[in-house]
A = this chain, B = another copy of it.
Amino acid sequence: MSSINSVKEGDLVEVKTSKSELSGMIISSPNPKIISLKLDSGYNVGIPKNGIKKIKKISSKKHKIDPPRLKMKKSKLPQISIITTGGTITSRVDYRTGAVYALSKPEELLASIPEVSDIANLRILNPFSMMSEDMGVKEWQTLAQETAKELNKKEVKGVIITHGTDTLHFTAAILSFMLKDLNKPIALVGGQRSSDRGSFDGAQNLICATHYCLSDIAEVAIVMHGSTEDYYCIANLGTKVRKFHTSRRDAFRPINILPIAKIWPNGKIKVNSKKYRKRSKGKVVADTKFESKVALLKFAPNMDPSVIDFYIKSGYKGIILEGTGLGHVAVQSKKSWLPAIKKAINKGIFVGMTSQCEYGRVDPYVYTNMRLLMGAGVTYLEDILPETAYVKLGWVLGQTKKLDKVKELMLENIAGEINKRIPSKAFLY
């Protein structure tokens, strides 16, 4: 039997409260009234000191938090590269102000998740560090190049990219197009809660991502919590996933498709369908050319079409419309978008139609208004997500400016972005 004051950071303890019995390692606590415990599952919990009925020290400093530990290679373990880019997963909260700040050394995070280094040897790269909303083409290109370089090393089994969650799906989508002939798994992970919170999700996400990188699935996937509990993660195809909730840990949901796989922290992987690219021995090519003059434009009723004229005048090469329902914008009203759209297409600008409905497919054959739009040259983009269509268009226009070829590539299923048969179960998955 120990007292609360006799235990310290690094100690392995057993704690009994009125509700539960827990055991784990004491880690740095943001609040003096709370003991933070790192459980064997990799999950952190905060326990109010005044709720502790019993605390027992098992051993001292079994898991020393010591970055150099990461450099000790365990020769039998497979090799994985981790590219850190910033975001909540490598951040901490300043409890005085409530604000989040970045860890100066992202490897600190990994050092606090020993499970990961028990599965694989890790090489950490940090090409840049920023909040994900600040990322742009330059960062996407760097990421694609760094990732390809790592994947093309014989000993590397896969690449994990840690990243802010806000635009994680945009980055996953663009990497899906930029990395041609993908030969190994790429897992993008983030954290919805920072690493010093009891509800930190990054540990489980990283553990599951590590398992994903050792699988035979050669796809770009976002690997994050599948449910609010620390139970399993889902790996979602990079071109068919969205951040569906501002703060929940299970925010990333598959759209118009089921997850590629469910992954449990103990390494169990259950794939939903065998239809994924398999690990192969070829080389990955990073094809990073990108045309930045592309716009994502969401329509709303009563909205003035003059914003299209603005994009024409500003020299844009492509516009992805987020229309309503099956792919509509105003066509037969005073504020018809048709003349401006015609003008854009006549100037050689690609105009693609997606839907602002979360699920489903655009279809130009049902209503007169859509037939008029299609007649004007609007390309209906099947069930491609607006965000995916936006980055794909920038990438396609980086390959060619010929409108016919652009149309053809936009309608070609390059990285799973088009799903001909949407399973009913995918709705609200």
Query: Could you list which residues of chain A lie within 8 angstroms of chain B, going by C-beta atoms?
Result: 98-101, 130-137, 140, 165-167, 170-171, 228, 242-248, 251, 253, 292, 295-304, 306-307, 310, 314, 322-336, 355, 357-363, 365-369, 371, 387, 390, 394, 424, 427-429
Contacts and interface: CB of A to CB of B under 8 A. Distances in A.
Given A98-B366, A303-B296, A367-B100, A330 B133 contact: yes
A202 to B, nearest CB: 15
A429 B427 contact: no
A211 to B, nearest CB: 25
A360 B247 contact: yes
Nearest to A134: B333
Contacts of A390: 300
Ranked 6 nearest A-B pairs via Cβ: A246-B360, A166-B324, A166-B325, A133-B328, A134-B333, A136-B302
Contact of A369 (B133, B165, B298, B328): B133
Contacts of A244: 357-359, 427-428
- Give the dominant DSSP class at A's interface: loop
A300 B170 contact: yes
A246 B134 contact: no
B324 A243 contact: yes
Given A100-B366, A306-B314, A307-B310, 18 more contacts: A131-B331, A131-B368, A133-B323, A133-B325, A134-B369, A136-B302, A136-B333, A167-B301, A228-B424, A243-B325, A244-B357, A244-B428, A246-B326, A246-B327, A246-B362, A247-B326, A296-B298, A300-B390
Contacts of A394: 302
A130 to B, nearest CB: 7
A1 to B, nearest CB: 38
A249 to B, nearest CB: 11
B248 A427 contact: yes
A247 B390 CA distance: 23
A251 B325 CA distance: 10
Given A246-B355, A357-B246, A360-B247, A136 B295 contact: no
Contact of A136 (B301, B310, B358): B301
Contacts of A328: 131, 133, 166
A133 B301 contact: yes
Contacts of A99: 365-368, 371
B330 A245 contact: no
23 contacts: A98-B365, A99-B368, A101-B368, A131-B331, A132-B301, A133-B329, A134-B301, A134-B331, A134-B332, A136-B301, A137-B302, A228-B424, A244-B358, A244-B428, A247-B326, A247-B360, A248-B427, A292-B304, A295-B303, A295-B307, A296-B298, A296-B300, A304-B314
A234 to B, nearest CB: 13
Contacts of A243: 324-325, 357
A157 to B, nearest CB: 29
A7 B134 CA distance: 68
